[in-house]
A and B are shown apart, each in its own frame.
Chain A
Amino acid sequence: MASSKELRRRIKSVKNTAQITKAMEMVAGTKMRRAQNQAISGRPYIEALNKSLYQVLNTGDKISSSLLLPNESAKTAILVLTTDKSLCGGLNTNIFRYIATMDTHQDWDLRKELTYYTVGKKGRQFIVRSTRTLSADFENYESVDFSQVLKIQRVLRKLFLDSEISSVYLLYPHFVSVLQQIPTLIKILPIQKTWGLELTGLELKRQIFLEPEKDVLVDYLLNHYLDAQIYQALLETKASEHSSRMIAMKNATDNAIELVEDLKLGYNQIRQDTITRELSEISGAALALE
């Protein structure tokens, strides 16, 4: 059995850890609320944008844009969004596990040669370590910035338009709730006309007045759609990161407190033993003197 001194030291160290994780939990909690708000309030915008795009792409008019057409390239790009820091539960691990399952994915595009683009240090490290092809790593900011989105969009769009890559996918943790974040894979290029099949009841194939001329507007919408899609995914990733970290830290704190209780029990037992032994020695000695 450990000595009482040793136990005392352990109790102190576990208590310190609990304090740190508690602090991290509170920090993550504050960040989470902000990120969560941002992610959730961004959703109506992207939904409305989705719907508008769907309507404009499915009018009777013929619409052509190179962003809508697949090309012959043998490569598929995947933009993986992860976090820079760890200590956020299984968030990144779930993404990595998803990447591993992609090798046997049904989707035809994913059977091609996959080339990865990352935002977030953890994702970059995973791609490199697992000897997958890392083409570029984008900077990950503490708070999501639209200029960051423009950089990413410009790079991927150019590669796509130059037929370097045949399609672009986004892989990110979708924020469902504080307790649940689901790795989500969506195809962002070529933009699909059949998007939002769940939008039933929309009457299609009818005339919509477009201003300015069709091509300019469609071009604007498509580019903006790409931006918004990446932006929203970045927001979701942030919200997921902070909620996941908060939960992980809460669990760590709870565990530490439990551990302290156990250790205290052991420590008190030893202390009591010592006291009892000393008492009996003293009374034994007193008896011997009589």
Chain B
Amino acid sequence: MAQFDCRIITPEKIIFDDSVQYVSISTSLGRIGILPHHADLMAKIVPGELSIEYGDDIIVLAIGEGFVNMHDGDLTVLTDLAKSPEEIDEDLIQAAHERAVQALQHKLSDEEYALTLGVIEKSVAQLKIKRRSVKN
């Protein structure tokens, strides 16, 4: 099957860098699927789920904010968070989520508000992926 190069990079490290068959990712306009020979595309991504068909496996990652860039048949995903279910500490994220929800009760500056919303979105995405992987 045709493949294309996919790189997932966070400011901390290169999370993934290999040839894959299919990538599905949540953007601000909804989920998009990327197959080999996709047209050049740049899209903002929102916290949610990214899945990769890699060989016989399907890799699922929780991702944060960032953007994807499909250029010349190579896909680059830049995001501030990319975690596999195994790396997600459910209790920790749950606690962070609750703190953020609490914080929203208070009056916040625009910037704090945006940051807090970001934390909530990211924690929800992580919890969702973690809980689903536990169920299976």
Contacts and interface: CB of A to CB of B under 8 A. Distances in A.
Interface in A188-213: 203, 206-212
A206 B42 CA distance: 13
B12 A52 contact: no
B128 interface: no
Given A52-B76, A211-B27, A228 B11 contact: yes
A209 B9 contact: no
B98 interface: no
A229 to B, nearest CB: 12
A203 B72 contact: yes
Contacts of B39: 207, 209
A48 B7 contact: yes
B13 interface: yes
B27 A48 contact: no
A171 to B, nearest CB: 22
A212 B28 CA distance: 7
B42 A48 contact: no
Given A52-B69, A147-B115, A217 B42 contact: yes
B40 A209 contact: yes
Contacts of B11: 41-42, 45, 228, 231
Size bracket, chain A contacts: 20 to 34
Given A45-B9, A48-B9, A203-B72, A211 B78 contact: no
Contact of B10 (A45, A147, A206, A207): A45
The residue in B10, B11, B28 that gathers the most chain A C-beta atoms within 10 A of its C-beta is B11
B4 interface: no
Majority-rule SS of B interface residues? strand
B90 to A, nearest CB: 24
Interface string B34-60: 000001111110000000000000000
Size bracket, chain B contacts: 20 to 34
B12 A209 contact: no
Given A41-B13, A45-B11, A228-B11, A220 B44 contact: yes
The residue in B14, B40, B41 that gathers the most chain A C-beta atoms within 10 A of its C-beta is B40
Nearest to B13: A41
Contacts of A48: 7, 9, 69, 76, 78
A38 interface: yes
Nearest to A52: B69
A286 interface: no
Given A45-B9, A220-B67, A206 B40 contact: yes
A56 interface: yes
B29 interface: yes
A24 B10 CA distance: 32
A260 interface: no
Interface of A: 38, 41-42, 44-45, 48-49, 51-52, 55-56, 147, 150, 154, 203, 206-212, 216-217, 220-221, 224, 228, 231
5 contacts: A147-B115, A207-B39, A211-B27, A211-B42, A224-B67
Given A42-B11, A154-B111, A216-B44, 9 more contacts: A41-B12, A52-B76, A56-B42, A206-B40, A207-B39, A208-B42, A211-B41, A217-B67, A228-B11
Listed from nearest, the 9 A-B pairs whose CB atoms lie closest are A211-B43, A208-B40, A52-B69, A209-B41, A41-B13, A45-B11, A45-B9, A42-B11, A48-B76
